[in-house]
Amino acid sequence: MRTDLAASYGEERLPRYTSYPTAPHFSPAIGPDTYAEWLAGLPAGASASLYLHVPFCREMCWYCGCHTQIVRRDGLIAAYQRTLRSEIAQVSETIGRRIKVEHIHFGGGTPTIMAPEAFAELMAAMRHAFFVLPSAEIAVEIDPRTLTSEMVEAMRLSGVNRASLGVQSFDPVVQRAINRVQSYEQTASVVDRLHRAGINGINFDLIYGLPHQTVASCLDTVRRSLELGPDRFSVFGYAHVPDFKKHQRMINEAVLPDGLARHDQACAIANALKEAGYVQIGLDHFARPDDAMAVAFEERTLRRNFQGYTTDKGEVLLGFGASAIGHLPQGYVQNQVQIGAYAQSVAAGHLATAKGYGLTDDDRLRADIIERIMCEFSADLGDICARHGAEPEAMLQSAARLKPLISDGIVRLDGDRLAVASDSRFLVRSVAAAFDAHLDPGKQLHSRAV
C-alpha cells in the first residue's frame, strides 16, 4: 500500500457509501404519505429485511457516531419497545400482507439493553406481522460489558443466530481515552456464553485511528481477538466529527493519529487478519474463507447497505425505531430522529417518516456502479450502463474526479471496465466518489478517506 497516496487523498472527507445518494441528501419532501404509497406498491413477491434501532446505552462511548442517548430508567426502554411493536404492526398493515423476511438486524445504541422478556415480545411481534423464514439471519449488536445470561437465553429462544460484539481496542490506555473500559475477560466470557447458546455467528468490531492508538496496540488487539475465534471482523476508521457529535469533544484531538498513522494502523490490522487466514472483503470487512460473506465476495453477489457489507440480496429494507432508515425500490425513508417525536407519530397512528429521497434513473445507475466498486473494487461500466439504458462513455465523461485517480495509478481503465489497483484499495471510497453526482467536497459531513 502506497503511503504517498495516503498522504495525498487520505484527508478528504468522503461518504462510506452505505447508500447512494447518502443520508445528508434526504429531504422532508418525502414524508409519511409517500412512504405509505411505496409500501402499498411493493410487488407481490417482494421479500424484506428488517432493521430495528434501539437508541439507548448505559454510558456514552466518546468515539460513538450513532444516534443514541444515555438512560438509567428502564421504563423509558420498555415504552420504546411498545412503540416499536406498534410501528411494526403499522407498517405491516400498510403493506397489506405478511411479506417474507430473510434478514433481521438489531442495531443501536445497545439493543440488548432491553429486558429479556421485552426482546422476546418484540421478536414475536415481528413473526406475527411478517413471515420470518426459518433460514432467516437474525443478528444483534452487543455491548459485552452489559450482556446478561438472561438476555442470551432470550436471544437463543428467539432464534438469534449472529452476534456483533463491539471490541474497538483492548488497549487500556485507548479504552480510558474513549470512555469504554472493557476487559478481554469480559469479551471472552460473552463469546463463550453465546457459543453455549448455539449462537455461533460471531462478528468483532474493531476501530483504528483512536486516541493514543499505535500500530503495536492495534496488532495486540488483533492477536487477542483471534484467540476468541470470531468468523467475521469489521474494521472501521474512527470518524472524528465533534461539530455533529458533541460528546466527541471529550476526546483530545492532540492525541489522535494523523492520516499516515491511521493508514499504517489499517494496513497492519488488514495484514495480520489476512495472515491469520481471513479473506479481506471490500473496504473494511474480513471473514473466514467458508463464511457466507466470503463466499458472496468470491461469487460477486456481495451487497452493501446501512449495516455495511451484507449477503442480503433483497431490494426492501424496512427500518423501525427513531432515526432508522429504510430502502425500497422507489427510494429511501428515514424516521424521526428524536425519540419523543418518533413516539408521538406512531401513537397518533402515523408512519414516523421524517424525510427521504426518491430515486431517479440516474441515481439507480450511479448506485449500481458505486456498489460494485465498493464491493468488488471494480465495475463493468458497459454491462451496468446497458442494464440501465445508458452509455458508458457519457458516464465516464461525467466523472471528472476519475482523471487524477487514473493518472496516479489508483484506477485502471480497460475499455469500459474499471478496476482499483491492488495497492490502492484503501482508497476505494475516493474511486466511488468519482461517480457521486451529489457530492459537495466543501461540506465536512463525512469521515476521512483513510
- 201-211 burial code (b ≥16 CB/10 A, e <16): bbbbbbbbbbb
pLDDT of residue 345: 98
Q: Do domains 1-7+360-450 and 8-326 have the same CATH topology?
A: no
CA–CA distances in Å: residue 120 to residues 47, 84, 113, 141, 391:
23, 13, 13, 16, 51
Max mean pLDDT among 10-14, 292-296, 309-313 falls in 292-296
Is residue 52 scored above 80 in pLDDT?
A: yes
Is residue 450 scored above 80 in pLDDT?
A: no
Helices (H) and strands (E) in the chain, counts: 16, 21
> Which CATH architecture describes the domain 1-7+360-450?
Orthogonal Bundle (1.10)
Using CB atoms within 10 A of its CB, is residue 134 exposed (0-12), middle (13-18) or buried (19+)?
exposed
pLDDT of residue 10: 67
Predicted confidence (pLDDT) per residue in 152-162, tens digit: 999 999 999 99
pLDDT of residue 2: 60
**Confidence (pTM):** 0.93
What distance in Å separates the CA atoms of residue 341 and residue 335, rounded to the nearest whole number?
A: 9
| Maximum pairwise Cα distance, the chain | 61
- CATH homologous superfamily, domain 8-326: tm_1862 like domain (3.80.30.20)
Q: Which three cell numbers stand for residue 424?
A: 490502492
Asked if residues 200 and 138 have their Cβ atoms less than 8 Å apart, the reply is no
Where residue 353 falls among pLDDT bands split at 50, 70, 90?
A: very high
Where residue 11 falls among pLDDT bands split at 50, 70, 90?
A: confident
pLDDT of residue 228: 98
Is residue 49 scored above 60 in pLDDT?
A: yes
Question: E strand or H helix at 152, and its extent?
Answer: helix 149-157
Q: Domains of the chain: which residue ranges?
A: 1-7+360-450, 8-326
pLDDT of residue 98: 95
pLDDT of residue 138: 98
H-helix segments, 287-422: 292-298, 339-347, 361-376, 381-387, 392-398, 402-407
Residue-level length of the chain:
450
Report the range of poorest mean pLDDT among 33-37, 58-62, 299-303, 305-309.
305-309
Average pLDDT value for residue range 380-407? 95
State whether the Cα torsion 384-386-391-392 is positive or negative. positive
Residues of the chain with pLDDT > 70, as a percent, come to 97
Is residue 8 scored above 80 in pLDDT?
A: no
Q: Which three cell numbers stand for residue 305?
A: 447497505
Where residue 446 falls among pLDDT bands split at 50, 70, 90?
A: low
SS3 state at 132: strand
For the chain, the average pLDDT equals: 94
Average pLDDT value for residue range 245-274? 94
State whether the Cα torsion 226-230-231-232 is positive or negative. negative
pLDDT of residue 449: 53
